[in-house]
Chain A
Amino acid sequence: MAGCFVQKRIQKEILTLKNSPPPGMKLCDDSLSSPGQFMVEVKGAEGTLFAGEEFKLLFKFGQSYPFDSPQVTFVGNQIPVHPHVYSNGHICLSILTEDWSPALSAESVCLSIISMLSSCSEKKRPPDNAFYIRTCSKNPKNTKWWFHDDKV
């Protein structure tokens, strides 16, 4: 698939995030230098366990975007302690793999992640965190996720 085909779509998503970002997220301007990826700063929603905390999400768009989901991981020093987030930043979220739809966008992914953080009731790492970070690939998309918990 030609590069310029996805370019307009990515460009549009960047523009939306830049000009009218939904509450709680902000595009990092310094991350726009490399093509096909950018960073978004998300804030924990008020009244939740992550209120006041800030995290950085890295979006990487592959050649087959938007037919394939982008790689989305937490980066930086701040990784939220959450049952679905591994300490290396990988996120266990269905829309990032199986349930991805081309109608989704970076904005809707961010919103899903904020919602996921907000519904957390206990700050803890996933039970298999230690094993996973030792064995996983760099790309979370190469992981065959097993989605079992709809509550959080």
Chain B
Amino acid sequence: MTREIYFERLGASEEQWLSVKPGEKITFGRSVTNRIRLYSEFVSREHAVIEQTNGNIYITDLKSLNGIHVNEVKIKTNIKHQLKVGDKVEIGKPLDCEEWKHLKLCDRFVYEVKEDEVNNLLKRPVMAKVHKSLFSVKQHQERTKMVGIKRKQENVEVASTKPELINILHQPKTEVKLITNNDVSDQDKDVKTQEEKPQHPNGVLLNDNYVAFVKNSTFRKLTRLEKQLEMQREESAKEKQNLEDEFRRRENMLKSELLKYEQLAKENNDTNTKDQLVRKEAELSNLLKEMKEKEKLENEKVAKNEELLRDKEQQLRDEMMKEKVLAQQREKDAAMAAQREAEELAKKHVVGKLEEELQCIICSELFVKSTTLNCSHTFCQFCIDGWLKKKNKVCPVCRAEVTSRNHSLVLDNYIEAAIAEMSPELQERRKMLITERKNAEAALKDPPKPIRKRKRKR
């Protein structure tokens, strides 16, 4: 009996094995284009290729990031490395990863090179196309949360380049997916309307928390959709797998039967058996035809679903763009509001200083017709006139004798300009004050006779 070399994944379920036929190249990697897809972020998109030439098994590292270890020794990249029975090959083991030490065998991709009789191999379950690692799946989900968009685009790229190789989606599943997606978008709408509510009462939105909240919700949405897509892909891959398995089993069965009948036919040369043989052959060809048709149908479905998926992705990306623009707008608004606030504060500060420095010490108002004395002290014209009517003509502040009074035009102009910037109440007050002063001045021009106060001598 002939013997065949095969690879068995250690610590994993039985169907995770593969045999290498002469002249066949088996590619390993994370992307869907590989013959064996390894589901882990530590595995490169195109990681390794195993081939058989002249009865020898070779493995080649396709310049992967984390490399290939044969018996715990890393092999050189891009160079064929010959394997022998009993070798242990590990794919995608990071150089310095603490967690790796505590990782179970089933979460790593360790394959042992084994040899067995072909008949025994035929009894093994059909080879799985996807090999998974729980560790990597978990990591993968976290990563998806982190860089949902990037991952998304990557998927789209893969989808557009090799649409026929993408995992197959099953029609009924898609319907379910559409329903759930609709639900999701409805929920999202609800969330959105709730989110947009706080925007209206204030007119301008200033809340950073709100922006962060919206961003988070988008990420949540993305992650949710992402997970759904991932699940769906897995499921459809499984379906396809099952379908193929079914076909293969039937094919194998028929083939072996055919073989049996051929042998029988050779031995007996019986017409009866020949008839049976012809029938069986017809059956086989029918089966093949059926399979082809089904595959064609499947491919059509896949194409349709891919389109749907891409539409969904486009929608999502549009949404993201919209949200980005919105967030930018909000940031701009917030910045403008902050600037306005700062300006307001500066104005208040200036007004405070103005009140402090440009106040008449006599009346505690901003100067009205500011008048500067020879000693450089300044007062309202009305106030200093009122004071100088007294018999002692000295400056109220420094008691220097008053020899001159000068109107300070620049001060008056400055105060008027400053008041024009202030609140309407202040402007109104100022107007009232000025009219009051005018009236009082007019009254003073024609003053009633002053009443002399009686003074007592002590």
Asked if B396 and A5 make an inter-chain contact with CB atoms under 8 angstroms apart, the answer reads no
Q: A1-39 interface mask toward B, CB cutoff 8 Å, 1 = contact, 0 = none?
A: 110111011001000000000000000000000000000
Is B124 at the interface (CB under 8 A from chain A)? no
A101 and B455 contact, Cβ closer than 8 Å, known pairs A1-B440, A8-B363, A8-B365:
no
| Alpha-carbon distance A102/B455, docked complex (angstroms) | 21
Give the chain A neighbours of B389 by CB distance below 8 A. Answer: 67
| Alpha-carbon distance A102/B362, docked complex (angstroms) | 5
B150 to chain A, nearest CB (A): 60
Asked if A146 and B365 make an inter-chain contact with CB atoms under 8 angstroms apart, the answer reads no
Task: Identify which of B363, B386, B456 contacts A137 (C-beta below 8 A).
Answer: B456
Is A128 at the interface (CB under 8 A from chain B)? yes
| Alpha-carbon distance A6/B382, docked complex (angstroms) | 13
| Alpha-carbon distance A49/B396, docked complex (angstroms) | 32
A5 and B363 contact, Cβ closer than 8 Å, known pairs A101-B396, A101-B397:
yes
A67 and B387 contact, Cβ closer than 8 Å, known pairs A132-B458, A137-B456, A144-B458:
yes
- Name B429's closest neighbour in chain A (CB-CB): A8
In residues 32-55 of chain A, which contact B (Cβ within 8 Å)? none
Is B457 at the interface (CB under 8 A from chain A)? yes
Give the chain B neighbours of A2 by CB distance below 8 A. Answer: 436, 440
In residues 84-112 of chain A, which contact B (Cβ within 8 Å)? 98, 101-104
- Name B361's closest neighbour in chain A (CB-CB): A103
Give the chain A neighbours of B397 by CB distance below 8 A. Answer: 101, 103
Q: How many A-B pairs fall under 8 Å by CB?
A: 58
Asked if B456 and A144 make an inter-chain contact with CB atoms under 8 angstroms apart, the answer reads yes
Chain B contact residues (Cβ within 8 angstroms of A): what range? 20 to 34
Is B449 at the interface (CB under 8 A from chain A)? no
Give the chain B neighbours of A12 by CB distance below 8 A. Answer: 364
| Alpha-carbon distance A103/B359, docked complex (angstroms) | 12
Q: Is the interface of B mostly helix, strand, loop or mixed?
A: loop
A110 to chain B, nearest CB (A): 17
Is A130 at the interface (CB under 8 A from chain B)? no
| Alpha-carbon distance A144/B390, docked complex (angstroms) | 17
Asked if B399 and A136 make an inter-chain contact with CB atoms under 8 angstroms apart, the answer reads no
In residues 427-441 of chain B, which contact A (Cβ within 8 Å)? 436, 440
Asked if A142 and B365 make an inter-chain contact with CB atoms under 8 angstroms apart, the answer reads no
| Alpha-carbon distance A10/B387, docked complex (angstroms) | 17
User: Which of A2, A9, A145 has most B Cβ within 10 Å?
Assistant: A9
A19 to chain B, nearest CB (A): 14
Is B70 at the interface (CB under 8 A from chain A)? no
In residues 116-145 of chain A, which contact B (Cβ within 8 Å)? 128, 132, 135-137, 141-145
| Alpha-carbon distance A1/B383, docked complex (angstroms) | 11
User: Which of A8, A66, A102, A145 has most B Cβ within 10 Å?
Assistant: A102
B365 to chain A, nearest CB (A): 6
Asked if A143 and B458 make an inter-chain contact with CB atoms under 8 angstroms apart, the answer reads yes
Asked if B361 and A102 make an inter-chain contact with CB atoms under 8 angstroms apart, the answer reads yes
Asked if A102 and B456 make an inter-chain contact with CB atoms under 8 angstroms apart, the answer reads no
In residues 349-391 of chain B, which contact A (Cβ within 8 Å)? 361-365, 383, 386-387, 389-390
Is B123 at the interface (CB under 8 A from chain A)? no
A residues touching B (Cβ–Cβ < 8 Å)?
1-2, 4-6, 8-9, 12, 66-67, 98, 101-104, 128, 132, 135-137, 141-146
Shortest beta-carbon contacts, A-B, top 8: A103-B396, A101-B396, A102-B362, A9-B364, A103-B397, A102-B396, A144-B455, A12-B364
Q: List 11 A-B contacts (CB under 8 A).
A: A1-B440, A4-B436, A5-B436, A8-B365, A101-B396, A102-B361, A102-B396, A103-B397, A136-B456, A137-B456, A146-B458
Extra inter-chain contacts (18) besides given A9-B363, A142-B453, A143-B455, CB under 8 Å:
A1-B386, A9-B362, A67-B362, A67-B387, A67-B390, A101-B399, A102-B362, A102-B383, A102-B387, A102-B396, A103-B361, A104-B396, A136-B456, A141-B453, A142-B454, A143-B456, A144-B455, A146-B458
